[in-house]
Amino acid sequence: MYSLDINFLKDRKVEEDAKKTTLIEAPGFSLGKNLPMLIGAGVMILLPAATGSLLWVINAQTASTQQRIQELESQIAQLTAQNQRIQEVEKQVSSVNEETQALVSVFNQIKPWSAVLQDIRDRTPAGVQIESIEQEAAAAPQGGSATPGIQLTLTGIARSYDDANDLVLSLQQSNFLKAQKTVLTNAELVDAPVQDIKEEARQEISRIIEQGKVPGLPKNTSVTSVKDLYVFPKVIKYQIKTELGDIPASKLMPELARKGAVGLVTRIRTLEQKGAIQP
């Protein structure tokens, strides 16, 4: 008879080996284990890109800033040139204004002699005669800051001391003269100044006297001057000093017009119309 031998142990080993084989994991990708590596790789990839982008942005901004700086520098240069031109124009305007003001000041300080003399003539009392008027520079003021004025010296004769004083008081009321500088510096009693008679007139007077036509005079009276014919009273020889006033001519327009200074009045009115002188 035939016998069947079965080795159960051998078959078990094969079965165990098969079971063991099924427990071995097949090799593959694990996200959890590889996440740090992926993050690191992403950072390594993105960091250069971000750095490059940042550098590009910075370079673009730098170029834009440089261009803006150049534009501003160009504008500054233009404004500087314009400012220099403006300063030059301002200097020219200032120079013209100074010249204009100097010219205006000259016109405004002018006191026409015709107006001054007419004013003095109008203020002279009936009993006073002015023989001469002399002008000279007045004493310079202390400190030398102001321009010396013009001093006038009036000399003449008056019938009395009162008449001479009346002339002083009248001149002190003049707007063309300084009242505080108008003073009587000298006054004395003298013989009346009488001129000699011309030869033709003397001969005619002598002929009339010789004919006895002049009562009270002997026929043999020699005549050389009027004093030989009449007795003249004593007179007062005076001297008055004054100074021209400093009131601007623009403030004396009506009076200047009355005294005949029409030309100056016209020029001042023209300057007022142009705004060079304030009315």
pLDDT bin (cut points 50, 70, 90) of residue 1 is very low
pLDDT bin (cut points 50, 70, 90) of residue 23 is very low
Query: What residues form DSSP beta bridges with 236?
Result: 158, 189
Q: What is the average pLDDT across 35-64?
A: 71
pLDDT bin (cut points 50, 70, 90) of residue 163 is very high
Taking a C-beta distance cutoff of 8 angstroms, is the pair 227, 171 a contact?
Answer: no
What is the structure's pLDDT at 71? Answer: 86
DSSP character for 177?
B
94 vs 205, residue with greater confidence: 94
* Res. 221: pLDDT tops 80: no
What is the structure's pLDDT at 116? Answer: 93
What is the structure's pLDDT at 51? Answer: 72
- How would you list the strands of the sheet with 235-243, edge to edge? 128-137, 150-158, 235-243, 183-190
Helical packing angle, 161-172 and 113-123, nearest 10°: 140
Q: What is the average pLDDT across 120-138?
A: 92
* Res. 247: pLDDT tops 60: yes
pLDDT bin (cut points 50, 70, 90) of residue 72 is confident
* Separation CA 182–CA 240 (nearest Å): 7
126 vs 11, residue with greater confidence: 126
Taking a C-beta distance cutoff of 8 angstroms, is the pair 116, 244 a contact?
Answer: yes
- Say whether 174 sits in a helix, a strand or coil: coil
What is the structure's pLDDT at 244? Answer: 92
State how far the alpha carbon of 45 is from the alpha carbons of 3, 30, 166, in Å: 74, 21, 118
pLDDT bin (cut points 50, 70, 90) of residue 139 is confident
pLDDT bin (cut points 50, 70, 90) of residue 55 is confident
42 vs 60, residue with greater confidence: 60
What is the structure's pLDDT at 179? Answer: 94
Query: What residues form DSSP beta bridges with 152?
Result: 135, 242
How many Å separate Cα 72 from the centre of its chain?
Answer: 36
